[in-house]
Structure 1
Amino acid sequence: MVEVVLAGALAGVVGVLVVLRERAFFTMSLTHATFPGAVAAAILGVSIPLGAAVAAVALVAVAVAIGRIRSQGPAVASGVMLTAGFALGAFLQSVAPLAIDVESFLVGQVLAVTGADIALTAVLLAVALGVWALAGRHLVFSSVDEEGYRSAGMRPWAPEAVSLALIAATVVAIMPVVGAILGVALIVAPAATARLLVRDYRWMLVLAPLIGIGSGVLGLLASRWLDVAAGGAIALVAALAYGAAWLARALAERGVAARGAAGRGSIEARTP
């Protein structure tokens, strides 16, 4: 439960950055890119988070290099990273079968987390909060108006590098909770839900971690009550929260439009 709370908070805080910078597809690609590193680490008998981190750094470097090719772009680079990463993980698992269940890398195995996993998540949460406190305005400015940020004499690559590093570290940290495949749900869904409900990024930084924590806790409890995988339950709760927020906003907007139309009709009826 401690790991779920920390992971939900971390995913929410970093997820705001993902949503503001429109890096959801990149995040999904990165979650797949960590899979071969985790498998390789298990084969070699070393730390799985370390192996996932090395794979993430290597494939991010490849994606950045592909993205610099004018005829390709970041979307193509993310697509290549997604498919290549997952394919490499499947290949490694097939040539060197593991004694442990590879499915735990894909959907998480939260009941097997260690003290080191909890410590890593807590440290990254503190780092993410510190980055937002020290450089939040730069991150937001460069996210919403990159050309204006460059025209102001600042370099967009710096906040971009910080953003990619935080996203990669978060993907690695929450792997024990939701795995390599479902990690994008816990990162993106709470922040996207918060953006439907509030517009100010500062309120998003409050609401998104709370939604992430709620998704984690409810998903973990549901997995116990229903005897289902915790990672899948957590991701599903996060997705349902987004769906509920979208429906509530749509109904609210329809109600406002209906009241506006009724008001205009009454004015026209009173007009001679």
Structure 2
Amino acid sequence: MLSSNIEYYKPVNIKETLELFYYLKGNNKRPIYYAGGTEILTLGRLNLVETDALIDIKDLKECQMFEFNQDYLITGAAISLTDIEEKNLFSLLSKASMEIADRTARNKITLGGNLCGQIFYREAVLPFLLCESQVIIAGYNGVEAFPIEQIFNQTLQLQDGQLLIQLLTEKKYINLPYMNIKKRQQWDTGYPLLTIASIKIDNQLRFAFSGLCPFPFRSKQMEAELNNTNVSIEERISKALQFIPGEVLDDVEGSKEYRLFVLRNTLEKIISEMEVR
């Protein structure tokens, strides 16, 4: 359970934010970066989050950016999912974001909170995986940029105290043909059974998945099989399934067998529609 004596801090820039985190850590505090706070409150009640110091980053200007700059779309980590949806600068990201939780929750949930959270779906990462975005992170070594495939492996691989600031996506990806299909077995805003995002670039399809395994992923081995037009779509899908990079979930949202059934049908739909665009 969250402490009733949580200290609250609101630094004014990235440098102060990092210095504050490491100072608190050095004084045996358990600081957490805070923006929307939905997961901190929810998991705190379940004793899955422990903190006695919140560092509010939601007004840091770098984390609030959502705009085009030269060849990139800059998406700040403290932007809410509702802002992403309403500004609609990147249609695939808007589509992925607007189907997470309900609107009341999306008003609070931030991009960074979704990507870094403990709830494993992290659906907002799918467009960035497909577009090979750059991840901007601040830490001991200053501000650094990493290719997302280098720093996102099931989760965002942040060291203690590192802060996700932004994601940079090249403009060439923004208006590509795409599909984002979310399947649920329960109510409209419940947890997903399966989400698949896809884009078409250079006549090749890319795919990213959430809800299939206990982590979101993009598999280039699966893509190679799914793009092999020398065989039928059914055979392509069967071969691709051999490269799923983890155990397929079997939980209250759906059995392993049902997920694979939905996966096959959804992939067939995406391939059939996207290949003719």
Which of structures 1 and 2 has the bigger CA Rg?
1
**TM bracket, shorter-chain basis:** under 0.3
Q: TM-score, normalised by structure 2?
A: 0.25
**Of Structure 1 and Structure 2, which has the larger fraction of its residues in strand?**
2
Q: TM-score, normalised by structure 1?
A: 0.25
Higher relative contact order structure (alpha carbons within 8 Å, sequence separation ≥ 6): 1
